Every structure is written in structure tokens, then in C-alpha cells.
């Protein structure tokens, strides 16, 4: 397990393809995911766009690892502080008071998160900066670091779990069938559409890309006659992969 | 087969038809002529593909309003897909075979659908 910390984050090919098709940077998507994971939203049961999806991703990842009860060796010296502050956040999350907006309540949790953050030992997320490659970094906020230590997960594990569920081919294959894309993909699609992003820059498309998007629309309709979900996804996967390879041939 | 239809022409459609001197019924007829699964899938690169694509998009969007027998749809579309199998080496002869096989399957599908729908009549006999 110790070795995991030093390994670089593995970015699945399907995720790269998805970012390439929707023209978003990999780092930007991951940063938005990180920024939407908070202790507060982990306890708040109502839906808040982005935050709920982010936190659910985390919960599923933790469940998959089989560590539902937080203990963590990072918290061995501050068990009281942890339980006290978690309790405070829980009270805040369940409190319903007129005029209290979720954003306000979320910002009130900052001091509780800070207390845990300052008291805990850091094994899993020792630094606040995470290197994606030589030049790209992600910023791990206090909330995310606390969650990593609480559940004994490396940031890499959360991020890789998130990325592994994003596949444009699988999501598009569901269209017109009785199936729905998973919620992590839906979250990604929101980001691609501008959620949490500074999407004011104009995108310039080459002729080749314009042709691709036209063909993409057609092929999504064409697969209507393929009734097997897996076969549909395979046709789309091959098509999207070719696009990705052409776009990144050098 | 002929069918009499009554249409409401939207302002924009009416304007275009008048400017270009197109009879709305002529336009609708041309659109209908293009809608064909066998023709589209036997030669997807042909120019008159937009009618079929429009139809496919339409049934995708109007899914709730389309009352289709899913079992028959799955069965016949799979057979159709196997027969077509993305006719990439589109030689004229291959296209022709594909077209007639495809059309045959569509006819069988229609027959099955009609039989299914009239089942309640014959069941109690």
C-alpha cells in the first residue's frame, strides 16, 4: 500500500478520450471534482448540484475498498477532536433554519474542518499539491485532505475511481435504450457543459473536427439498429478512439 | 399507399416555401421518400441520408410517445443489423443485395407487428 503514494496518477484512456471530445482539460475536470467534495455534503442528505455527485463518488470508492467506518491511523492522536468536529458539522447539515442557505452552512464548517486538519497526522495526502505530470498540478483543499486521512485513501485512489467511470462511448450507447448513464458520467457531462468552469473562451474547431462532430451525431443515431448495449458501446468506442488518436497523433 | 394529411404550416416554413416557390406537399413528399432504413444502412454515405437521420432522431426524442413492441423491435433490428453489418465495401452489387435483404426484414417486422396487434381478435376464436 505504501508504494501507491509515489506512483503517478494513471489516467484511463477512455477519460482522455472524453476530455478530448468535449475539449476540457483533464486537470480542470479533476480540480472541479476535488473542489466539490466536502465533509459537509457527505452528511447533508439533500441534493446539491455537483457536491452530491462528488461526495457520492467518494462514498462508492470507499465502499469498494471496504472501509466504511472512519478511523484511520492519521487520527490516532486526535480522536476526540475528530468526533467533536464531525458532530458539529452533522448538526449544521441537519439544521433547518429560515434564511440559512447551503452555501452559508457549508462555509460555517470551515473552522471545524480546519481543526481536524490541524490536529491530524498526514500519511495519505502529505502535501496540498498533487502532480498530474511534470507541469500540471492539482490543489488538494483541506476538506479533501481530511477525507483522505479519515478513510485511509490516497488522493490517487479517489481520482482514479472517478475517472474510471467516465466513458463517452458507454454513456452514448445508453441513449434510446432503457438504460441511463452512471451519475459520475452525468457529473462529468455537466462539467463539460460549463458547470464549475470558466467557459467564456471560444473554442476554435478545425474542419476535421467539425466533420467529426457531424459524424458523431449521425453515428449516435445510426446505432439505433444495434440492440446490444455492449456492441453499441464498442462501435462508438472504436469511433471515438480513432478521433482521439488523430487529434493526438504527434 | 396514399394518405390524406392536414398540416399547420408554421410562419417560418410558410415563408421559405413561398420565397422558394415550393409546394409544401412536394417538400413533405421528398422528405418521406428519403426515410428508409434499408436504403440508409445499405449506403450510409449517400446524400439523401438526412431524412432517415431525422427520423432516427425523432424516435429517439419522442420515445415516450412511440408505442413499440420492444421484443419485436429487438429481434428484427438485430436481424437487420446482422444483414447490413455496416456495408463498408459499398460496391453497387453489394448495396443492391443489402437493400433487398434489409427491405425483406422490414416487411417481416411489419407483418409480425400487425399479427401481434390483431392477436386479440383471433385469440378468442
Residue extents of the structural domains in chain A: 25-152
pTM of the model as a whole: 0.86
- Measure CA B13 to chain center: 23
Which of A224, A235, A236 to mutate to probe the B interface, most B CBs <10 Å?
Answer: A224
| Contact assignment for B53 to A225 by CB distance below 8 Å | no
Residue B94 has a pLDDT of 75
Cβ pair A5, A111 in contact under 8 A: no
d(C-alpha A169, C-alpha A176), whole Å: 14
Contact A230, B84 (CB under 8 A): no
A119 touches chain B (CB under 8 A): no
Q: What value does the CA radius of gyration of chain A take, rounded to a whole number of Å?
A: 20
Q: What is the DSSP letter of B9?
A: P
Distances in Å between the Cα of B116 and the Cα atoms of A186, B50, B71, B73 are 38, 31, 11, 12
**pLDDT tens-digit series, residues A110-125:** 999 999 999 999 988 8
- Chain B residue whose CA is closest to A177: B60
Residue pair A28/A132 in contact (Cβ under 8 Å)? The answer is no
> Of A7-16, A92-101, A143-152, B34-43, where does mean pLDDT reach its minimum?
A92-101
> Are the Cβ atoms of A226 and B74 closer than 8 angstroms?
no
Please name the residue of chain B whose CA is at the shortest distance from the CA of residue A218: B53
CB contact under 8 A, B53 and A221: yes
> Does the structure show a pLDDT above 90 at A97?
no
Distance CA A26, CA A34 (A): 12
Q: Do A225 and B81 touch (CB under 8 A)?
A: yes
Search chain A and give the residue with CA nearest B42. Answer: A222
Q: Looking at beta carbons, which pairs linking A216-223 to residues 24 or more positions away fall under 8 Å?
A: A216/A21, A216/A240, A216/A243, A218/B44, A218/B49, A218/B53, A220/A172, A220/A175, A221/B53, A221/B56, A221/B57, A221/B60, A222/B41, A222/B44, A222/B56, A223/A173
User: Residue B93: how many CB atoms within 10 A of its CB?
Assistant: 8
Model ipTM value: 0.80
Q: What average pLDDT does the structure give for chain A?
A: 89
pLDDT for res B87:
52
Residues of B in contact with A175 (CB under 8 A): 60
- Give the residue from A198, A126, A112 showing the smallest Cα distance to A156: A126
Of the candidates A84, A113, A108, A79, which has an alpha carbon nearest to the alpha carbon of residue A95? Answer: A108
Selected residues 19-78 of chain B with any CB under 8 Å from a CB in chain A: 37, 41, 44, 49, 53, 56-57, 59-60, 63, 73-74, 77-78
Domain regions of chain B by residue span: 36-118
Of A176, A225, A227, the CB nearest to B41: A225
pLDDT of residue A199: 67
Amino acid at each position: 500500500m505504501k508504494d501507491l503514494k509515489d506512483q503517478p496518477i494513471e489516467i484511463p484512456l477512455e477519460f482522455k478520450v472524453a476530455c478530448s471530445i468535449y475539449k476540457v482539460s483533464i486537470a480542470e475536470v479533476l480540480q472541479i471534482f476535488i473542489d466539490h467534495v466536502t465533509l459537509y455534503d457527505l452528511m447533508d442528505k439533500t441534493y446539491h448540484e455537483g457536491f452530491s455527485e462528488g461526495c457520492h463518488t467518494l462514498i462508492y470508492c470507499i465502499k469498494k475498498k471496504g472501509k466504511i467506518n472512519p478511523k484511520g491511523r492519521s487520527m490516532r492522536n486526535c480522536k476526540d477532536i475528530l468526533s467533536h468536529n464531525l458532530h458539529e458539522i452533522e448538526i449544521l447539515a441537519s439544521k433547518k433554519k429560515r434564511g440559512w442557505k447551503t452555501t452559508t452552512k457549508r462555509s460555517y464548517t470551515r473552522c471545524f474542518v480546519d481543526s481536524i486538519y490541524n490536529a491530524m497526522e498526514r500519511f495519505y495526502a502529505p502535501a496540498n499539491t498533487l502532480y498530474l505530470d511534470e507541469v500540471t498540478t492539482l490543489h488538494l483543499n483541506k476538506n479533501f485532505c481530511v477525507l483522505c486521512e479519515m478513510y485511509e485513501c490516497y488522493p490517487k485512489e479517489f481520482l482514479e475511481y472517478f475517472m474510471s467511470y467516465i466513458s463517452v462511448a458507454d454513456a452514448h450507447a445508453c441513449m434510446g435504450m432503457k438504460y441511463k448513464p452512471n451519475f459520475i458520467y452525468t457529473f462529468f457531462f455537466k462539467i463539460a457543459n460549463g458547470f464549475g468552469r470558466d467557459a467564456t473562451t471560444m473554442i476554435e474547431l478545425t474542419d476535421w473536427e467539425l466533420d467529426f462532430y457531424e459524424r458523431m451525431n449521425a453515428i449516435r443515431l445510426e446505432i439505433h439498429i444495434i440492440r446490444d448495449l455492449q456492441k453499441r458501446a464498442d462501435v462508438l468506442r472504436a469511433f471515438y478512439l480513432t478521433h482521439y488518436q488523430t487529434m493526438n497523433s504527434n | 399507399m396514399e394518405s390524406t394529411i392536414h398540416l399547420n404550416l408554421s410562419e417560418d416554413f410558410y415563408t421559405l416555401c413561398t420565397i422558394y416557390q415550393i409546394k409544401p406537399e412536394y417538400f413533405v413528399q421528398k422528405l418521406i421518400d428519403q426515410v428508409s432504413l434499408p436504403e440508409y444502412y445499405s449506403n450510409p454515405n449517400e446524400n439523401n441520408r438526412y431524412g432517415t437521420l431525422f427520423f432516427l432522431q425523432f424516435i429517439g426524442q419522442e420515445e415516450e410517445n412511440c408505442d413499440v413492441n420492444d421484443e419485436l423491435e429487438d429481434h428484427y433490428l438485430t436481424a437487420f443489423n446482422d444483414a447490413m453489418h455496416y456495408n463498408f465495401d459499398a460496391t453497387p452489387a453489394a448495396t443492391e443485395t443489402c437493400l433487398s435483404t434489409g427491405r425483406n426484414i422490414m416487411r417481416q417486422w411489419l407483418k409480425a407487428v400487425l399479427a401481434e396487434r390483431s392477436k386479440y381478435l383471433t385469440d378468442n376464436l
